[in-house]
Amino acid sequence: MAVIRDVIPAFELFQPASIEDAQSLLARYGPEGWVLAGGLDTFDWLADRIKRPTAVVDLGQIKGLSGVRVVDGGLEIGAMTTLTEVVQHPVVREKYRLLAEAAEAAASPQIRNQGTIGGNVSQDARCWYYRAGWPCYRAGGNICYADTPKGLNREHAILDADRCVAVNPSDTAPALIALDAKMVIRTPKEERVVDAEDYFIGPATDITRMTVLQPGDLLTAIRIPSTWAGAQFYFEKVRDRNVWDFALVNVASATKVSGSAIGDVRLVVNGVAAHPVRLKAVEAAVTGKPRNEATAELAGQLAVQGAQPLQHNGYKVPLMTNLVKRAIRGVAGEAA
């Protein structure tokens, strides 16, 4: 576990008023610069003195990076919008309840008042070896301490591990992927938009990052199209404690029904890999089938194909199986 110390390392604090100014600062300081959103992930790193940036760039004063706006029938959510704002927004609750439930499941009310949706989807891995400063693969070393005979790996990956077995800790990430959200990224040269599904990356792509953000890039907004507005939603998070805890496994689904059959569905799990996992094989298998126990059973079995549990996290296989079954089964006839 991390060794907690009393004094945060000294750094210069900047509070730019524009995205351009923020990126200019990040370009000036390079790897010695650090982006601050809500600060929950940041202050963990700083308090443990594992990260020692020369400069911290606080995005809190940049207008336009917060708030929920109705755009083209869908929503645009500023990256600096707090999780509480997301949970309480009437349009989110009415048409995209899946995201409201996922955001509300993140930590405690006090943390949601401070934490931002951009920070929630962009936070770093929570593996205790990595967070404590051990020289693991993700930190530039040549070993994964969690994946050893004596490693503590109860909360780690059962899918898509490649050297590192840390998992993505976000609750809102699977909901955003299920809603087919788009992530708006401002690079030093341009604005680019990527699917939420492609925003997150695994260690096979880059073991030092969990998202596509490169140094100097800023996530500025999240756009949710109207495609899944009012669909039937399911979100569930299993954790050790009811509040202020990360998911052991969570699941998010958006389903459109045609009569008694599943017409279309997007199904995503998290807490099982370094990135949220969209279960496309399951989606294809259940589309057109009745929303009943037999279909749920099929979905649960397909979902965990290829799972490779570690010494202490084998429980995640049946847990993920049952969460997927519940998401597919849902509650017959329930409106969003």
- 3-state secondary structure string across 229-280: CCCEEEEEEECCCCCCCCCCEEEEEEEEEECCEEEEEEEEEECCCCCCEECH
Predicted confidence (pLDDT) per residue in 29-67, tens digit: 999 999 999 998 998 888 888 889 999 999 999 999 999
Residue type for 82, please? T
Average pLDDT over residues 264-278: 98
Task: Determine the Cα–Cα distance for residues 219 and 78; give it in Å rounded to an integer.
Answer: 9
pLDDT greater than 60 at residue 147: yes
Confidence of residue 219 (pLDDT cuts 50, 70, 90): very high
What residue ranges define each of the domains in the chain, with the CATH number in brackets? 12-61 (3.30.43.10), 231-329 (3.30.390.50)
Residue 106 is classified by DSSP as S
Residues 6+ apart with CB under 8 A from 181: 195, 196, 222, 223, 224, 225
Task: Determine the Cα–Cα distance for residues 91 and 21; give it in Å rounded to an integer.
Answer: 32
For residues 172-205, one letter each, b for 16 or more C-beta atoms within 10 angstroms of the residue's C-beta and e for the rest, the string is bbbbbbbbbbbbbbbeeeeeeeeebbebbbbbee
Task: Determine the Cα–Cα distance for residues 295 and 253; give it in Å rounded to an integer.
Answer: 15
Asked if 172 contacts 121 with a C-beta cutoff of 8 angstroms, the reply is: yes
Asked if 222 contacts 183 with a C-beta cutoff of 8 angstroms, the reply is: yes
pTM (2 d.p.): 0.94
Considering the chain, what percentage of its residues have pLDDT values greater than 70?
96
Distance of CA 3 to the CA centre of its chain: 26
